[in-house]
Amino acid sequence: MPLTDTAIRSAKPRAKAYKLSDSGGLYLEVRPTGSKWWRWKYRYGGKEKRLSMGVYPDVRLKAAREKRDSARQQLAAGIDPGQARKAEKLSRAGAESFEAIAREWHTKYASTWVASHRDRILRRLEKDIFPWLGKRPMAEIKAPDVLSVLRRIESRGAQETAHRAMQNCGQVFRYAVATGRAERDPTGDLRGALPPAKEKHHASITDPKRIGELLRAIDAYEGNIITRCALRLAPLVFVRPGELRQAQWSEIDFEKAEWRIPGHRMKMREVHIVPLSCQAIEVLREIEPLTNREIATKPNASRFVFPSLRSADRSMSNNAILAALRRMGYAKGEMTGHGFRSMASTLLHEQGWNHQVIERQLAHAERNAVSAAYNFAEHLPERRKMMQAWADHLDVLKTLGDVIAVFRKV
């Protein structure tokens, strides 16, 4: 039950620190020294975090609750209250420093990014940029200063990270220019200063005979049924691994035979429609009685199609598909969870399907000045036809084994 002022005043120190819970994640931590600290527990980006709300009696119960409510409003807006506080402190300490402005920029745009992308940017800045440029006034940082930091990253062989770090620095500088705290973006002077990053390719199987072998190996997989169903669905829908493992039953429409992924989970931040073939529907129907919370009576029923084996409140691990492929004997340079996308793209192009139809189904938004708007239903009739034909082709490869069928678009 919620705390009262009397209960707080009466709380005595013990040999070990202990908590007195209030509501909404707010609690009072009573330390052996007798000091009483307000803390707020919350989750952001799937991770549990804590934020200090001050010390009692300097901060009374009412004030602590007001601070909690304010932080909850930030959280509802997609802002990490902890990061927002860091940015505010840095702003007060040195409003013109690179780190202060970078954190302000990150906080402002964090809600528009996928969680993994947002966290990756912050880690990159904290690890590779802030230690050397963080405390320096923005206006004093020149192109050679940025290059010196990028060379550190490059020296450990992380060329792609160096390029991405330069891109992030440029975004911060342009934000500073837009907000009147810098005159120009010096990263523009660094074009060509870094050697081009080697293009990364996700290992994939594209030989029809070997695809058939892979599909038969998936059907014979003896691991957990949730993982096996995810493996079976992956080549049929060829979405990104993160989109697959976080699929939710509320997104599946069996009547329309489609899976509608909300924009906040997509790389391009736009709704994406995945037409479901008869084979994909069959996989989903197989696992539905086990994991769909609305109809299942099992203890691991969940809102997720593929819940974690440890907790129904979380989606399956991002390594589950990869680990299963390894157990099946497919090495790192041979096949990955992302490789199902390359597999589909390669073969569908070879089979003569329209490039725009394939790209839209892969959620590769090709935008230009003439067609800036993303139409998530674009080419949908042709995409439905393609997805069923693709599933039928996979069945042929799996059934015939060594015989490679000639696949023609009807």
Q: CA 53 to CA 68: how far, in whole Å? A: 8
The catalytically annotated residue of 36, 272, 338, 383 is: 338
Residue 369: its pLDDT value, please? 36
Q: Quick check: 86 pLDDT over 80?
A: no
Q: Which of 191-200, 243-252, 326-335, 393-402 is the least confident region?
A: 191-200
Q: Which domains can be identified in the chain, with CATH numbers?
A: 5-76 (3.30.160.390), 81-190 (1.10.150.130), 208-365+375-400 (1.10.443.10)
Q: Which of 47, 355, 364, 367 is catalytic?
A: 364
Q: Which of 42, 175, 330, 374 is catalytic?
A: 374
Contact 233, 283 (CB under 8 A): yes
**Catalytic-residue membership of 341:** yes
Catalytic residue among 118, 228, 240, 360: 240
Partners of residue 26 on adjacent β-strands: 40
Query: What is the three-class DSSP state of 39?
Result: strand
* Model confidence at 114: pLDDT above 80: no
Q: Give yes or no: 267 in active site.
A: yes
Least confident of 131-140, 168-177, 198-207: 198-207
* Candidate list 49, 164, 260, 267, residue with the active-site label: 267
**Known catalytic residue at 18:** no
* Mean pLDDT for the stretch of residues 301-324: 88
Do the beta carbons of residue 257 and residue 273 sit within 8 Å? no
Report the percentage of the chain scoring pLDDT > 90. Answer: 56
Q: If you average pLDDT over every residue of the chain, what do you get?
A: 87
Phi, psi for residue 257 in degrees, rounded to 5? 55, 55
Asked if residue 247 lies in contact with residue 94, where contact means CB atoms within 8 angstroms, the answer is: no
List, for residues 219-277, the tens digit of each pLDDT value.
Answer: 999 889 999 999 999 999 999 998 999 999 999 999 999 999 998 888 777 889 999 99
Residue written as tokens 């023609």? 408
57-66, 165-174, 251-260, 362-371: the lowest-pLDDT one: 362-371
Whether residue 402 has pLDDT greater than 50: no
Each residue's pLDDT tens digit, 269-309: 788 999 999 999 999 999 999 998 888 776 668 889 999 88
39 is catalytic: no
Confidence bin at 371 (pLDDT 50/70/90): very low
- Confidence grade of residue 78 (pLDDT, cut at 50, 70, 90): confident
Catalytic residue among 106, 245, 265, 341: 341
Q: Is 27 a catalytic residue?
A: no
| Residue 331 vs residues 242, 259, 353: alpha-carbon distances, Å | 20, 30, 30
With contact defined as beta carbons under 8 Å apart, do 375 and 353 qualify? no
d(CA 356, CA 365): 10
